[in-house]
Amino acid sequence: MRHLLEESARRAISYLEGLGTRKVAPSPEAIAKLAALDEPLGEQPSPPDSVISMLDEVCSPASMAMAGPRFFGFVIGGSLPVTVAANWLATAWDQNAAFYSVTPAAAMIEQVALRWLLDILRLPPGTGAGFVTGATMANFSALAAARHAVLSRAGWNVEADGLFGAPPITVVVGEEAHSTLFKSLGLLGLGRKRVVRVPVDAQGRMRADALPPISGPTIVCTQAGNVNTGAFDPVGEVCEKVHAAGAWVHVDGAFGLWAAASPALARLMAGVENADSWATDAHKWLNVPYDCGLAFARDPDALRAAMAITADYLPAAVPQRRPSDFTPELSRRARGIEVWAALKSLGRQGLAEMIERSCRHARRFADGLRAAGFQVLNDVVLNQVLVVFGDAERTDRVIAELQTEGTCWCGSTVWQGRTAMRISVSCWATSEADVEKSLEAMLRIARKHAQK
Ligand SMILES: Cc1ncc(COP(=O)(O)O)c(C=O)c1O
């Protein structure tokens, strides 16, 4: 075992050390070699070290350097080295994080990490929370708490009786809500399409002046951090307008909620703390390994009512927080360990610096692209930049060549009718030199296509 694990650690370290110098996207040749995996399952066992060497030799070159400093697609953080190390230790422990009484270390560490998170994310003390796989499940869990609360106020027990015959719930969303929010609504039986859509402004912010009149059980879904522009809905204003009518306000802050950690960005967060529930990801801007999302509900009992179960063979209630009372899963890995390690290692200042650094890099990209005559479509308020290199076809050609050339990796999007390249800066490892190197590649390729 020792040799196998040490050899695997050696391979992993060498992979991580190579991230800054390799091409970001895997080569077509490396992808073609994945065919070696497509073999019949052997009758006889394979030696474990040959399994690991095959994994590394076939799959490492065919992986995207997502954990590296010049991957700017989607919204993807890397993993702080301390979180990779914590993850290795936690994997060795192999704790099922459901119960305090059987896995006290995992439960305690989650509890401490959650207390720190409420503080750093400026959420109300006493807020209930659960560790889930990502923002999709965090939205799902928080909206399950919302569904419980608004129906319970109308005298209906949704956990016991389901939605058949229940009082109807009005769900209000901004036109620019993330696609996964609709998936969460669908999973909860609230319907992907059965929503009232509120118009947005040019940055994708919900227009609080265009909210519909609210009556009856209502959930209003807002967003802190639009995936394309980084813009924040005016959550405080929305809360003021709809709370009087008894509506529940949810915030999808998959990456934007981390702005709270930076005093310089706190103005974006005005009133976010007045909402009733929040979803975020730690695998994005906190830079912990996949997968790690967080669901928060101001009223812990609403989240508990939606999630908790009992069974005769499961441990009885103890005075300490029982992690599985707040999550859709019963058995799951102890995600809080990496979150704790990240926060403990960064401290308040280190976290603020990491968030601000990403935003500074995003502004540098925008300034460099604008100075070269290319149009930046968004106000760069956070870590997202949208740039166009001409018409849709030319922008697509630039993106395709940039991805193949390999200095960095950016994806495409369509923003309010225009095809654009997205630059999302979320990785702890991105340095000023990485930004300059990537900018040089973007401008070189964009100029080449401008001349065609
Ligand atoms: C605003 C927003 N919500 C939800 C999600 C989904 O997150 P996940 O892929 O972690 O489920 C994203 C992903 O980028 C996002 O930006």
Ligand 1 contact via 178 beta carbon (within 6 Å): yes
Cα 383 to averaged position of ligand 1 atoms, centre (Å): 14
Residue 243 has pLDDT above 80, yes or no: yes
Determine which residue's CA is closest to atom 14 belonging to ligand 1: 75
**Given the CA of residue 225, which atom of ligand 1 is nearest to it?**
1
Q: Buried b / exposed e across 414-443, counting CB within 10 Å, b at 16+?
A: ebbeebbbbbbbbbbbbeeebbeebbebbb
Determine which residue's CA is closest to atom 15 belonging to ligand 1: 254
Ligand 1 contact via 254 beta carbon (within 6 Å): yes
Q: Which residue has the tokens 């609360």?
A: 149
* The two three-digit tokens of residue 403, written as one number: 């991805």
The strand order across the sheet containing 128-132 reads: 128-132, 293-297, 277-281, 248-252, 218-223, 170-174, 196-198
Q: What is the pLDDT of residue 312?
A: 78
pTM passes above 0.85: yes
Ligand 1 contact via 281 beta carbon (within 6 Å): yes
Instruction: For residue 200, list its beta bridge partners.
Output: 206
Rounded Cα distance, 380 and 328, in Å: 36
**Given the CA of residue 283, which atom of ligand 1 is nearest to it?**
10
Cα 178 to averaged position of ligand 1 atoms, centre (Å): 7
Angle (CA) 77 79 82, round 5°: 150
Ligand 1 contact via 180 beta carbon (within 6 Å): yes
Question: Among the listed ranges 96-100, 110-114, 177-181, 405-409, which one has the minimum average pLDDT value?
Answer: 96-100
Cα 254 to averaged position of ligand 1 atoms, centre (Å): 5
**Given the CA of residue 139, which atom of ligand 1 is nearest to it?**
4
Summarize pLDDT for 162-185 with one digit per residue, the tens: 999 999 999 999 999 999 999 999
Summarize pLDDT for 201-210 with one digit per residue, the tens: 999 999 999 9
Summarize pLDDT for 329-354 with one digit per residue, the tens: 999 999 999 999 999 999 999 999 99
Rounded Cα distance, 243 and 276, in Å: 10
DSSP state of 418: E
Q: What is the pLDDT of residue 331?
A: 95
> What average pLDDT does this structure show over 421-428?
98
Cα 287 to averaged position of ligand 1 atoms, centre (Å): 14
pLDDT over 90 percentage in the chain? 95
Ligand 1 contact via 221 beta carbon (within 6 Å): no
Q: Which of 200, 203, 223, 227 is the best mutation target for the ligand 1 pocket, counting ligand atoms within 8 Å of the beta carbon and taking the most? A: 227
* The two three-digit tokens of residue 118, written as one number: 């409420």
Cα 137 to averaged position of ligand 1 atoms, centre (Å): 10
Contact 131, 337 (CB under 8 A): no
Ligand 1 contact via 298 beta carbon (within 6 Å): no
Summarize pLDDT for 56-81 with one digit per residue, the tens: 999 999 999 999 999 999 999 999 99
Contact 332, 96 (CB under 8 A): yes
Determine which residue's CA is closest to atom 2 belonging to ligand 1: 254
Q: Which of 178, 278, 286, 413 is the best mutation target for the ligand 1 pocket, counting ligand atoms within 8 Å of the beta carbon and taking the most? A: 178
pLDDT over 70 percentage in the chain? 100
